[in-house]
């Protein structure tokens, strides 16, 4: 290695150190003073699973902020009820029945949305299912359906709606993972695996677009990691009474509000409640036996149903 190569390496390392210091200072500033929230007025927001729960709340709250809402759900009646509720407050919303696990259905709906509403600019992959059993009690169909809804549907939705974002180099993709996508919990083994997959999908896709656009991609990504939300999916929550004040189920309204805030602030990752991601990051620095002790101390999750 000659002197010129050594000098280039040193310069590049110094540049990297300066970049790291800059982003640390930026992060500290935003933690103290907060991030600005971008407007969603005029944006076309497509949300999956809007017939109930978090998806319904997201649709209503985005509509109240001035966005045009595209609601996708397999349950036609529940989805139309959501849109009807939005229209009572004089907001723009459109209902489309769609089985997001079927690629052909997704692409057929995408064609209608483009013709009838326009190009989607904010995409929220929210639809999900969560059967709770020990692994050996899961049926083949249950596991396959878990991956169809919680993982493969993300791919079909992205393949259908991402091209227009890439063409305009503009848009925002939001995906719901789960705390169980970071820390696997008993009675949720296949579910945890699907939520790990969502995390990997979002990380890899963001990096792929950044590299293929030479660092000039303006498509934003936000991955949300809820703990337990009162949507009806969590039928038998297991909550340590001693820590009950910190481990209660979040409401769908509050969860949706935090998701929208994270998207409007261009936050890449956010847990609900917000303390979970920093806590998990800290615990991961500890020895494995210490991590296990903390998990046993928290002693919360779900019971088999």
| C-alpha R_g of the chain | 21
Within 10 angstroms of residue 275's Cβ, the number of other Cβ atoms is 11
Length of the chain, please? 305
What single-letter DSSP state applies at residue 229? B
CB neighbours of 238 closer than 8 A, spacing ≥ 6?
A: 299, 300, 301, 302, 303
Active site residues: 191
- CA gap 92, 151 in Å, rounded: 29
CB 202: neighbour CB atoms within 10 A? 23
In this structure, how many other beta carbons lie within 10 angstroms of the beta carbon of residue 282?
10
């Amino acid at each position: 290695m000659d002197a010129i190569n050594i000098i280039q390496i040193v310069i590049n390392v110094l540049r990297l150190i300066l970049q790291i210091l800059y982003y640390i200072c930026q992060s500290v500033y935003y933690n103290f003073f907060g991030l600005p929230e971008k407007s969603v007025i005029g944006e076309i927001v497509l949300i999956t699973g809007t017939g109930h729960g978090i998806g319904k709340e997201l649709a209503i709250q985005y509509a109240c902020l001035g966005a045009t809402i595209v609601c996708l759900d397999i349950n036609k009646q529940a989805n139309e009820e959501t849109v009807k509720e939005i229209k009572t407050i004089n907001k723009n919303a459109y209902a489309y029945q769609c089985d997001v696990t079927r690629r052909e259905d997704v692409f057929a709906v995408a064609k209608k949305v483009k013709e009838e509403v326009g190009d989607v600019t904010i995409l929220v992959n929210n639809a999900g299912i969560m059967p709770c059993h020990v692994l050996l009690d899961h049926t083949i169909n249950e596991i396959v359906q878990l991956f169809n809804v919680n993982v493969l549907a993300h791919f079909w939705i992205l393949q259908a709606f991402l091209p227009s974002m890439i063409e305009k180099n503009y848009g925002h993709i939001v995906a719901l993972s789960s705390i169980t996508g970071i820390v696997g919990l008993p009675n949720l083994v296949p579910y945890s695996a699907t939520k790990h997959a969502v995390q990997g999908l979002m990380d890899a896709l963001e990096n792929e677009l950044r590299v293929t656009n030479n660092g000039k991609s303006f498509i934003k990504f936000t991955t949300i990691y809820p703990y337990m939300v009162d949507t009806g999916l969590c039928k038998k929550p297991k909550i340590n009474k001693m820590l009950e004040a910190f481990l209660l189920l979040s409401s769908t309204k509050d969860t949706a509000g935090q998701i929208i805030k994270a998207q409007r602030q261009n936050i890449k990752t956010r847990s609900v409640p917000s303390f979970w991601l920093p806590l998990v990051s800290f615990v991961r620095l500890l020895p494995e036996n210490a991590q296990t002790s903390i998990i046993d101390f928290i002693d919360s999750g779900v019971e088999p149903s």
